[in-house]
């Protein structure tokens, strides 16, 4: 689906607020194009120009009706807090804040009405970028403080999709923004799931969780486990071979990235089964969540049908899940203070 046809399809009916969505398509001289939407500050499309085809490598919906029906956050900006906060509450200086609980009594991806369901303002745009902004009021989904947020997408000449996150607050509050794009580098329309993609992750430790994705220990070494992606391997090589994966139907775990990632090394590299496309992920966030689309079955696709489980994978750059309850973990604090600036960047580099 081209940027023009996607624009027509996504604006044919109103969004959550009764008005049509606004879409922006960015293109570079190499022929790569990406399409963004103000609802959820969402990354809707990523088309790679290969020799014999223009390959869409993002999972997504074709209509606003499908977007409203969607429950898996495809391409959306996630906030205030990506991943889980256990029991839907946390405390600051002895004061307990109770949050919107939307998964087994926990808070997932910001709560019932997270940033993925909001209309963001298009604050600025140019030929190669668009900046979305949002104001989250004090008490939004139970979180304290007024939070001013912006997300800037930029498509570079060398096929990098750069996503810059900025935020500031007037009260102490946890902030953990990410993008929830699902990729299938062979193309979602190929009918092939993501398990034959070759993955490498620059991490020596991962975080064990219970069946609801809540951490059950501190990060533990990947050595000797199915979570060892320090050398390239296909997703299916060690798939569902251990109890941790079996609890959640696959990989849905955070990896604590090695320190070299903060100095410019890639955090993850993924190659398509046909070796036509390689994606490298760079980030200055301390962790990366690998999710293999374990619960995608029934989600609307671009062709009027439905995706199946494992149709795509997500690599969500973030703080470790439930960090508000674990200040002892060896990472910078997820708590944003008044006068501080939340500022992080994640880059997806496509080589083809």
Show which residues are catalytic.
Answer: 180, 316
- Hey, what's the torsion of the CAs at 112, 116, 122, 128, to 10 degrees? 170
Hey, how many other C-beta atoms are within 10 angstroms of the C-beta on 332? 11
73 is in an annotated binding site: no
Q: In 3D, which of 134, 159, 135, 132 has the Cα closest to residue 146? A: 135
The tokens 């049509």 sit on which residue? 20
160 is in an annotated binding site: no
- DSSP string covering 219-234: -EE-TTSTT--SS-EE
Contact between residue 347 and residue 160 where contact means Cβ atoms under 8 Å apart: yes
* Length of the chain counted residue by residue: 352
291 is in an annotated binding site: no
Residue 237: CB partners within 8 Å, gap ≥ 6?
Answer: none
- Is residue 64 helix, strand or coil? helix
253 is in an annotated binding site: no
What is the C-alpha to C-alpha distance for residues 221 and 219, in angstroms, rounded to an integer?
7
What is the C-alpha to C-alpha distance for residues 72 and 53, in angstroms, rounded to an integer?
28
Longest dimension (CA), the chain: 60
Hey, how many other C-beta atoms are within 10 angstroms of the C-beta on 267? 27
55 is in an annotated binding site: no
The tokens 């790569």 sit on which residue? 32
**Which ranges constitute the DSSP H helices of 112-160?**
none
- Is residue 148 helix, strand or coil? strand
Hey, how many other C-beta atoms are within 10 angstroms of the C-beta on 200? 17
Angle at 280 between CA 276 and CA 282, to 5 degrees: 165
223 is in an annotated binding site: no
Annotated binding-site members: 83-84, 180-182, 252
Annotated binding-site members for beta-D-galactose: 83-84, 180-182, 252
């Amino acid at each position: 689906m081209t940027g023009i046809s996607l624009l027509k399809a996504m604006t044919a009916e109103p969004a959550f607020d009764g008005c049509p969505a606004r879409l922006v398509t960015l293109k570079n001289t190499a022929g790569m194009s990406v399409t963004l939407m103000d609802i959820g500050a969402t990354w809707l499309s990523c088309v790679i120009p290969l020799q014999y085809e223009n390959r869409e490598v993002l999972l997504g919906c074709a209509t606003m009706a499908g977007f409203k029906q969607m429950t898996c956050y495809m391409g959306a900006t996630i906030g205030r807090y990506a991943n889980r906060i256990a029991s839907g509450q946390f405390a600051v200086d002895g004061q307990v804040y109770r949050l919107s609980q939307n998964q087994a009594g926990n808070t997932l991806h910001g709560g019932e009405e997270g940033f993925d369901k909001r209309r963001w303002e298009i604050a600025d745009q140019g030929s190669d970028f668009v900046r979305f902004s949002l104001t989250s009021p004090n008490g939004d989904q139970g979180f304290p403080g007024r939070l001013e947020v912006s997300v800037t997408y930029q498509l570079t000449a060398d096929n990098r999709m750069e996503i810059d996150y900025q935020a500031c607050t007037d009260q102490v509050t946890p902030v953990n923004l990410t993008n929830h794009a699902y990729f299938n580098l062979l193309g979602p329309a190929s009918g092939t799931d993501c398990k034959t993609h070759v993955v490498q992750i620059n991490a020596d430790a991962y975080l064990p969780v219970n069946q609801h994705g809540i951490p059950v220990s501190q990060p533990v070494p990947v050595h000797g486990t199915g979570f060892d992606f320090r050398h390239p391997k296909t997703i299916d090589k060690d798939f569902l071979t251990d109890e941790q994966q079996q609890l959640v139907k696959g990989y849905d775990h955070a990896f604590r990235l090695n320190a070299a990632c903060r100095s410019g090394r890639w955090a993850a590299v993924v190659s398509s089964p046909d070796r036509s496309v390689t994606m490298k992920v760079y980030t200055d966030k301390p962790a990366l969540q690998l999710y293999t689309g374990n619960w995608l079955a029934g989600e609307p696709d671009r062709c009027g049908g439905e995706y199946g489980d494992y149709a795509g994978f997500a690599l969500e750059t973030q703080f470790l899940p439930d960090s508000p309850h674990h200040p002892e973990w060896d990472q910078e604090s997820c708590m944003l203070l008044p006068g501080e600036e939340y500022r992080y960047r994640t880059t997806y580099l496509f080589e083809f």
